[in-house]
Amino acid sequence: MRFLRAVCFIAPLVAGVQVDRRGREVYHGYKVFRVLTDGDTADFEAQLESLSAIELSRNRGHIDTQHFDIAVPPESLDAFHALNYEAETLTEDLGADIALEGELEPFPGLETSVSGANANAKVAAAAALPSFSWFSAYHPYADHLTFLKSLQAAFPSNSELITAGTSFEGRAIQGIHLWGSGGKASKPAIYYHGNVHAREWITSMTVEYITYQLINNYNNDTAVKAVLDNYDFYILPIVNPDGFVYTQTTTRLWRKNRQTRSGTTGAPGDTPENTGIRTYGDKLGAGKGIKLYIDWHSYGQYILTPYGYSCSAKAPNQSRQDTLAKNVGAAIAQVHGTRFTTGQTCSTLYATAGGSNDYFTDVTPAELAWAIELRDTGTNGFTLPANQIIPSGEESWAGQKYLWANF
Ligand SMILES: [Zn+2]
């Protein structure tokens, strides 16, 4: 985090940092490397800071090693190479990658305004779902709210918009609650969070894809009807709205929320966003209980089970969770061949403190509490091209359908 903050505060003063005409950083000439380090990450982190490099992700390699994916600004490339780390180049020009994401496009309207060419038009004529072309591009934050409202209007007797607290900058953390034939809030919860980390745009699009398909298929797919009749879905596609907006206006690779850190402890869970979504989850836990919690992230293609804080601690149903995760990975791979690595967070990725799937294992227990890291494995990273939104949605939908039918 220190690196991000350093980059963001210093960037306007450093020669060579470029912004476009709307004031967004463009990252031209930044290269992305996967660097193998030994266990001494503090030393490596200090090096990163001196290079004004941006940490993108890290994960555990073999015993006592870590891989870091880092973006190095052009003016630091010589200094980085002089350090002689074992490194693989993932991206030659991060700015070019970001351009591949495409422009942000406005809400495309409702299916009824689309003239039958769309595969979903048959259902849409009755339901007035938003246009499926939503999933062909990334969108401004305000349009995500319009999209959610339109989903709700297409499923009026079985859904309502929900709010899980307020962000640091005062935005409502909005989502949608779906239920089936048993009526509102009559069944255990399936609780999804997207875009906890601001720069992980594919997560909100994928969570929205799943929501869309739940509504679109409730009346024509018995498995979808069964899961909605047996569980209440509480879906928050963008739980970090301030950070998400900031990635769209200013700094594409911003990760956290926008809370100023002075006067806070900086401990996990202390942001207003975390308080809001945790409180909402506590309420679900105290109600009908939580069957499944998933915190959707990118990137890396992982399905992660508890725990993050310890590599030796086990959830009471650990082996069942691990088996289900493995089988979900297999169901995902059948769609487009995308391989997800599955396992416990700590041993698969790295030790984390304050992870939300730990919270939803121990404090407000969910029967299954996972984090999923979506596409890709580093080629495009957080800036996944828009033409991968639908494939990511399709494979994730298949994975969730497997899970709902077998958990
Ligand atoms: Zn994340």
Beta bridge partners of 65: 38
* pLDDT given for residue 183 in this prediction: 97
Distance of CA 77 from the midpoint of ligand 1 (Å): 26
Asked if the structure places residue 29 within a domain, the reply is yes
Candidates 21, 18, 11, 29; CA nearest to 95 is 29
Out of 50, 70, 100, a domain closes at 100
Asked if the structure places residue 251 within a domain, the reply is yes
pLDDT at 18 over 70: yes
Residues 166-195, mean pLDDT to the nearest whole number:
97
Q: Do 129 and 75 fall within a single domain?
A: no
Q: Do 147 and 257 fall within a single domain?
A: yes
Distance of CA 124 from the midpoint of ligand 1 (Å): 33
Distance of CA 5 from the midpoint of ligand 1 (Å): 17
Q: Do 250 and 120 fall within a single domain?
A: yes
Beta bridge partners of 34: 69, 88
Asked if the structure places residue 221 within a domain, the reply is yes
Distance of CA 198 from the midpoint of ligand 1 (Å): 8
Residue with tokens 């399936």: 190
pLDDT-based confidence at residue 14 (cuts at 50, 70, 90): very low
* pLDDT given for residue 341 in this prediction: 96
Q: Do 236 and 336 fall within a single domain?
A: yes
Q: Do 288 and 387 fall within a single domain?
A: yes
* pLDDT given for residue 119 in this prediction: 47
Number of domains in the chain: 2
Q: Do 42 and 169 fall within a single domain?
A: no
Condensed to tens digits (0 to 9), the pLDDT of residues 88-131 reads 999 999 999 998 888 899 999 887 544 444 445 444 444 589 99
Asked if the structure places residue 106 within a domain, the reply is no
pLDDT at 4 over 50: no
Q: Do 66 and 214 fall within a single domain?
A: no
Out of 38, 66, 100, a domain closes at 100
Asked if the structure places residue 254 within a domain, the reply is yes
Q: Do 76 and 182 fall within a single domain?
A: no
Give the Å distances, CA to CA, from 150 to 125, 143, 175, 220, 381.
14, 10, 12, 20, 30
373 has catalytic annotation:
yes
For residue 92, what is the domain's CATH number?
3.30.70.340
Q: Do 28 and 155 fall within a single domain?
A: no
Distance of CA 282 from the midpoint of ligand 1 (Å): 22
Candidates 353, 354, 357; CA nearest to 343 is 357
Candidates 157, 160, 158; CA nearest to 176 is 160
pLDDT at 337 over 90: yes
Candidates 139, 258, 156; CA nearest to 208 is 139
Q: What is the mean pLDDT of the chain?
A: 89
Out of 76, 100, 124, a domain closes at 100
Q: Do 166 and 222 fall within a single domain?
A: yes
Asked if the structure places residue 80 within a domain, the reply is yes
Distance of CA 247 from the midpoint of ligand 1 (Å): 14
Candidates 334, 307, 309; CA nearest to 322 is 307
Condensed to tens digits (0 to 9), the pLDDT of residues 200-228 reads 999 999 999 999 999 999 999 999 999 99
**What is the domain range of residue 13?**
2-100
pLDDT at 198 over 50: yes
Q: Do 218 and 76 fall within a single domain?
A: no
Residues 126-149, mean pLDDT to the nearest whole number:
92
Return the CA Rg of the chain: 21
pLDDT at 15 over 80: no
Condensed to tens digits (0 to 9), the pLDDT of residues 21-60 reads 888 888 999 999 999 988 778 888 899 999 999 999 988 7
Q: Which of 101, 200, 208, 373 is catalytic?
A: 373
Q: Do 121 and 87 fall within a single domain?
A: no
